[in-house]
Amino acid sequence: MIVRPHQHWFTRLFVWHGSVLAKISTRLLLNVALSVTVIFFLPWYEALDIKLTIAPFSILGVAIAIFLGFRNSACYARYTEARLIWGQLVIQSRSLLRVSRTLLVAHPQEIRHLVNLQIAFCHCLRLTLRRKKLDNVLDRYLSQAELNAVLHSHSPCNRIILLMGEWLAAQRARGALSDILFQSLDNHLNELSGILAGCERIANTPLPFAYSLIVHRTVYLFCILLPFALVTDLHFMTPFVSVFISYTFLSLDTLAEELEDPFGMEDNDLPLDALCNGIEIDLREMINDEHKPEKMRPDRRYLLT
């Protein structure tokens, strides 16, 4: 996620990092090259007496804008839902520890074990969504037996929730929790299961491929044919107008691709590392643990991962 301080409107016009311009610059250069080529062959083009007018491109441009707007809205809705789900994870993590610490204040070592399981769940969810290795991170929070059980599970995050459930059952078995309090804490674990399912739904269910494909093809076909329609009227201004229109459509198409997977490592994706870091700091402060990590801050490129 790009986290920038407020900028003057004129300065923002020249911002490079964080925009999609870096990704589409090659395609825009190809559009400029095509426009220059069309200008060079304009006499031969006119001799064929085959002319494209602006009229069909005006109608097609409106249609493309509507479809791109709908697709971007759908992708941004996925991004917003993902952020809400992770916000819910922050709430449930704090609530589960708060209630557990209040009830089991006489057993600090047991609380520390629960904290490690909660932090492990957050990192496991982050790494699973980003399809990264788990053992290099989870071994700091889980015992060897717990780590082996998690790594050999079809759903590692679900296995950690099961370990938390077993921890609750152990507290109940030794009389530290009544049935009512056990049920209250178990509801927080049910919420964690819902959070896991919500993240899996977004990560494993992309937008329909056929819909994205037709929008993608139409945008590129529009940008390729556009110089042929502009050149007869604009002549040497064709590259400037063509690349500006192409930038608008290509940037919207590229931005939708980024937002479709909000858990990725793109510049505009969710900062899952920072969210896990914040959860770990909060939980360790709640048990007065001095070994808490430093708060993550944006790097020199204003990027928060």
Give pLDDT, residue 301: 66
Helix intervals (H) in 174-237: 179-204, 209-234
pLDDT the model gives residue 21: 81
Amino acid residing at 156: P
DSSP assignment of 106-163: T-HHHHHHHHHHHHHHHHHHHHHHTT--SHHHHTTTS-HHHHHHHHTSSSHHHHHHHH
The dihedrals phi and psi of 84, each to the nearest 5 degrees, come to: -65, -40
> Distances from the Cα of 151 to the Cαs of 133, 164, 177, 187, 274, in angstroms?
10, 16, 30, 25, 24
**Collapsing DSSP states into helix, strand and coil, what is residue 19?**
strand
- Dist CA 252 CA 80 (whole Å): 17
Q: What is the pLDDT of residue 69?
A: 87
Indicate the pTM of the whole model: 0.87
pLDDT of residue 189: 93
Contacts of 75 (CB under 8 A, 6+ apart): 207, 255, 256, 257, 258, 259, 260
- Nearest to residue 28, comparing CAs of 302, 186, 220, 259? 220
What torsion do the CA atoms of 98, 100, 101, 102 make, to the nearest 10 degrees?
80
Q: Which amino acid is at 139?
A: D
Q: Please list, residue by residue across 129-138, b when 16 or more beta carbons sit within 10 angstroms of its beta carbon and e when fewer do.
A: bbeeebeebb
Pairwise CA distance, residues 305 & 299, whole Å? 9
Q: Going residue by residue through the chain, which has 305 residues, state the pLDDT in tens, using 9 for 90 and above.
A: 677 667 766 677 767 677 788 888 899 999 999 989 888 887 776 666 667 777 788 888 888 888 888 888 999 999 999 999 999 999 999 999 998 888 775 566 778 899 999 999 999 999 999 999 888 889 899 989 999 999 999 999 999 999 999 998 988 888 877 888 888 888 999 999 999 999 999 999 888 888 888 888 899 998 998 888 888 888 888 889 999 999 989 998 888 888 889 998 888 888 999 999 999 999 999 988 888 888 878 777 666 78
The domain spans of the chain are 20-286
Q: What is the pLDDT of residue 8?
A: 67
Q: Are the C-beta atoms of 157 and 195 separated by less than 8 Å?
A: no
| The pLDDT of residue 295 | 86
**Helix, strand, coil share (%) of the chain residues, nearest 5:** 75, 0, 25
Beta bridge partners of 2: 303
Output the pLDDT for position 96.
92
Structure token pair of residue 285: 């402060």
β-pair partners for 19 = 17
pLDDT of residue 238: 87
Element (H, E) at 242: helix 238-260
